[in-house]
Structure formats: structure tokens, C-alpha cells
Amino acid sequence: MNLIPVLIALLVIMVTTLIWIFIARRSEIYVHRKERSVRKVITGMGVIFTVATILSYWQKDFSDYTVLIAVSLLAVVSLLDDIMDLSIGLRLFIQLIVAGVVYMAYPVLDPWWMILL
């Protein structure tokens, strides 16, 4: 497995979290939702990244950059959700896009797993 996309994905996670903390400290979001939001961002991206990395070893024709795309999209969704308080419908739509990217990369996954996203 090529480690460059993995390192880039980790960088995306760190930068997104730092951007969120920087913006949140200068707004009322930091007071009201600091712990829950940061925990949600880190946990959500961590789960997707871990599952994608584990499954990448099962498929020989796996594209490493799909992990990067999925993690980047999830990072952006999490950041927007915390800052703008997205509606449930828009959040679901964006999560379905992320799930679609992951599902295209991992056709071995059962459809019920996509619901968990």
C-alpha cells in the first residue's frame, strides 16, 4: 500500500480539526459545543479512515486515493456541520455522497454497512 495518500489523509484530518478549533474559539460555538463537536469530528473521520485502511489490504486493485477522497469529504462535512449547523436533509445528502465514494472503492461491503455512515 502506498503510504503517501495515507499521510495526506492524516494531514487533512489534522488541518480540518485545527481550522475548526481556530474558528470555534472566536465564536459562540466554542462555548456551547466544544467537546461534542471535536469528539464527533475526530471519531467520525477516524472510523472511516480505519475501515478504509483495513479494507485496502483485502483488495489488490484498491485505489489508495479513494481513502483520501472519503476522508477529505468527511472532514469537510464535519467542519461545515459544526460551523453552520446543517439541516438533517443536507447532512444526509452529503453523507450519502461520502458513502457512495467508499462503496465504489469497496464493493465487498454489505449495503447495511453504508447505513451506519
Chain segment 57-101, per-residue pLDDT in tens: 555 545 555 555 666 666 666 666 665 665 656 666 666 666 566
Taking the C-alpha atoms of residue 13 and residue 76, their distance in angstroms, rounded to an integer, is: 9
Domain boundaries, the chain: 3-115
pTM, to two decimals: 0.34
Residue 114 to residues 23, 41, 77, Cα–Cα distance (Å) = 31, 18, 16
* 109 pLDDT more than 50: no
What SS3 state is found at 86?
Answer: coil
Chain segment 5-28, per-residue pLDDT in tens: 666 666 776 676 666 666 666 665
Cβ neighbours of 26 (radius 10 Å): 9
CB 63 within 8 A of CB 6: no
Taking the C-alpha atoms of residue 92 and residue 106, their distance in angstroms, rounded to an integer, is: 20
Chain segment 20-53, per-residue pLDDT in tens: 666 666 665 555 555 556 556 655 655 566 556 5
